[in-house]
Chain A
Amino acid sequence: MNSIYQALAKRQGLVQILLLAAAAVFPLLVSNPYVIRLSILSGIFIILSLSLNLLTGFSGQISLGHIAFYGIGAYTAAILSKNFGLNFLLCMVAAIVVTALFGLLLGLPALKLGGYYLAIVTLGFSEIVRLVEINWMELTNGPLGINGIPKPALFGIKLSSPRAYYYMCLLLVVLTIVVIRNILESRIGYALGTIRGDENAAKFMGVNIFRYKIMAFMVSAGIAGLAGAFFAQYVTFIDPTSFASDQSTLVLIMVIFGGIGSLPGSVIGAVVLTLVPELLRSLMEYRMLIYGVVLVFMMLVRPEGLLGKINFKHIRQRCTAEPPDGKEGS
């Protein structure tokens, strides 16, 4: 297994290009709309789990309410495009800004709260958001939801074929990966890593903990909001059931299943856990039961998740550098 990881780590650039190429030609080879739809759904969950991983995995802030940002983004885009006829790109930008502001709001208690106390606040936040979605009829049309959300169009050209959506989604996924990776590889990533590792030691690295926690919340929320905006314009109908708290736990499960603090892990976790229930669809009511069993089994066998302890950067560094002299070599 180790040699596989080493081989992958050494050829990281090549692997990335191949994967991207495969994703790009995929809809040209497969025309089944159901498969395309599943792929787009997987893409949305990839964005969500990557953004949650930034917050929970890389910054150590457990969130049980991530789906709230997704919902806020979706409603922002839906309302702006339907009621105000805003262009879909502007809707997406607006969704990012609005959710990032809510991220700021939720990040404020994180200054004082950690661990489970913060977790319950995030859960409470998402419940409050959901109840507002249900009860504020004038804004959200309550449990009936908002339908007829305009489909995206650019310069008068409608981008509403399954393929167009697929490529839009792919673009957003790649964008998310690049943005999060760039953040993590910068000094901001290091600062977040110190907060995750040991908040009290982080201060003495000169890290302004409050500032970086807020930043993590805002970026994470903004990206989830973007996913929500895309979702709203893709399905053209949204209602509060898509943003219930079980969806938050679903995204958290994807992150941990793939490996906390691993970007490739989040991608794999999101794809696998989106597809597994679909593949089990023929089993009818047994499918969620099996899902639960798989989850428990996975945690028992591999508690750190699929790629939780596999850091490709470290593996690559160790391959290329000369091994340390003496006994401690590995």
Chain B
Amino acid sequence: MVLQTKEVVQQFGGLTAVNRVSMQIEDGQIVGLIGPNGAGKTTFFNVITGVNTPTAGSVHFMGEEITGIPAHEIVARGIARTFQNIRLFKNMTAQENVIAGMHTESQANLIDAIFRTKRHRTETLACEQKADELLELVGLYAYRYELATRLPYGHQRRLEIARALASSPKLLLLDEPAAGMNEQETADLLEFIRRLRGMGYTILLIEHDMKLVMSICENIYVLDHGELIAQGAPEEIQSNPRVIEAYLGKEG
């Protein structure tokens, strides 16, 4: 099992944003997390990635408890994420953004840096090479020296995924990866996520695009008002009356 959350509760003052949510993700799975706006999906992501310490419950990753561990250490253990609103580093090129994501992959300290030791030099070369490979993977190699902010929107989303992959994660959390994309871009993204699974990544994604979620995820969790109201294969979810009432019902 890659990720296991047990009865996770997250309260902010009097508000319960996430209420006793348990989730299990097996190795190599693509799992979807859906629900109406304000259902607590991103808050749940924040608990897993160490932004917030949950009020109650626990999070286990690769068999070890990671509840309440700071965000940067969770990255080092192998969970990477993207953001609902793109958060690339503005002053950096595409390549530099990806290299920035490799922080946990290298060890050089201040002394190594100042004196340009062998360790520093080998790591730097390795990082550049790996960054170029990742950019190649997401189809942005030609743009590697462009400032991230000058890339078109769809490219920026892909760059964010490349940056998340840079830390060699076991589990990849994608927060609305298809948001703002047109149909063609979404189709490309779908293909890309399938490729990632083929490469051995385990993926948990929040998404509003039902077509994408239903066609790609083997297991779907549905949140509403912070509570888990359903869980199962896409077909089960599609026919679940509670889900239809809470979520799909509103759309059609």
| A positions within 8 Å CB-CB of B | 179, 182-183, 185-191, 193-194, 196-198, 200-201, 203-209, 215, 219, 261, 311, 314, 317-318, 321-322, 324-325, 328, 330
Contacts and interface: CB of A to CB of B under 8 A. Distances in A.
Interface in B68-83: 70-73, 75-76, 80-81, 83
Top-8 shortest CB links A-B: A186-B113, A197-B89, A206-B104, A206-B75, A324-B142, A203-B71, A201-B87, A317-B145
B75 A324 contact: no
Contacts of B147: 314
Given A200-B87, A201-B87, A328 B113 contact: no
B113 A193 contact: no
Contact of A324 (B49, B104, B143): B143
B8 to A, nearest CB: 19
Contacts of B100: 190-191, 193-194, 205
Given A188-B113, A194-B89, A196-B91, A204 B80 contact: yes
A291 B87 CA distance: 39
A215 B110 contact: yes
A204 B113 contact: no
25 contacts: A179-B114, A182-B115, A182-B116, A183-B114, A186-B120, A186-B124, A187-B106, A187-B124, A190-B103, A191-B100, A194-B89, A196-B91, A197-B91, A201-B87, A203-B71, A203-B72, A206-B75, A206-B104, A208-B70, A208-B72, A261-B91, A314-B147, A318-B146, A321-B145, A325-B142
Nearest to B173: A204
B65 interface: no
A205 B92 contact: no
B83 A201 contact: yes
A206 B83 contact: no
Nearest to B151: A328
Contact of A206 (B96, B115, B167): B167
B49 A204 contact: yes
Interface of B: 49-51, 70-73, 75-76, 80-81, 83, 87, 89-93, 96, 99-104, 106, 108-110, 112-116, 120, 123-124, 127, 142-147, 150-152, 163-164, 167
Q: Report which residue of A197, A203, A205, A219 has the largest number of chain B beta carbons within 10 angstroms of its beta carbon.
A: A205
Contacts of B163: 205
Given A203-B72, A206-B103, A182 B87 contact: no
B89 A183 contact: no
Contact of A330 (B90, B91, B102, B150): B150
Nearest to A322: B142
Nearest to A326: B142
Given A314-B145, A328-B152, A209 B72 contact: yes
Contacts, number: 111
B92 A197 contact: yes
Contacts of A186: 108, 112-113, 120, 124
Given A190-B96, A193-B89, A317-B93, 16 more contacts: A185-B113, A186-B108, A186-B112, A187-B108, A187-B113, A190-B99, A191-B100, A193-B92, A197-B89, A198-B87, A205-B72, A206-B76, A207-B103, A261-B91, A317-B145, A322-B142
A205 B131 CA distance: 14
B135 to A, nearest CB: 11
Given A193-B89, A193-B91, A183 B110 contact: yes
A187 B123 contact: yes
Q: Report which residue of A179, A186, A188, A261 has the largest number of chain B beta carbons within 10 angstroms of its beta carbon.
A: A186
Given A215-B110, A328-B152, A330-B146, A204 B89 contact: no
B129 to A, nearest CB: 15
A187 B103 contact: yes
Contacts of B145: 314, 317-318, 321
A187 B51 CA distance: 23
B151 to A, nearest CB: 7
A165 B143 CA distance: 48
A191 B91 contact: no
Contact of B89 (A201, A314, A325): A201
Q: Report which residue of B71, B100, B116, B167 has the largest number of chain A beta carbons within 10 angstroms of its beta carbon.
A: B100
Contacts of B151: 328
Contacts of A324: 142-143, 146
A315 B93 CA distance: 11
Contacts of B102: 187
Contacts of B103: 187, 190-191, 194, 205-207
